[in-house]
Amino acid sequence: MDCLFCKIINREIPSDIIYEDEHVVVFKDISPQAPGHVLLLPKKHIGTLMDIKPEDAQIFGHIFKILPEVATMIGGDEGFRLVANCYESAGQSVFHIHFHLLAGRNFGWPPG
């Protein structure tokens, strides 16, 4: 499958992976928008948040289970932001589900 993030997961494209387990990989965003900016994604290829199936529930439960640990790894103890863009209109540019985890600065609201 011609998917950038599947290639990163399969080590066909290099990245700075900070956490990995059976279901999940976390690597540094190539264009960081905060001092700590990583992408947290399921190893399973799912294109968008709108493509999640009932049988995927365990994977997303797992993602939230490891979230505090990963947030701490990038300096998120004092606060962090979790963002998921769905479809181009919301800013999605890679069509393999990923959560942006950002930390290390203050964040404004509403988001742009």
**Residues taking part in catalysis:** 98
Tell me phi and psi for residue 8, to 5 degrees.
-65, -45
Site membership for ligand 5GP, residue 6 (CB under 6 A): no
CB atoms within 10 A of CB 32: 13
Count of chain residues binding ligand 5GP (CB under 6 A): 14
> Helices marked H in the chain — which ranges?
4-9, 57-73
Q: Are 58 and 10 in contact (CB under 8 A)?
A: no
Question: Least separation, in Å, of the C-beta of 9 and ligand 5GP?
Answer: 11
Question: Least separation, in Å, of the C-beta of 4 and ligand 5GP?
Answer: 6
What token pair was written down for 78?
């004092």
Stretch that binds Zn ion, among 10-18, 40-48, 56-64, 74-82 (CB under 5 A): 40-48
Stretch that binds Zn ion, among 29-37, 43-51, 69-77, 80-88 (CB under 5 A): 43-51
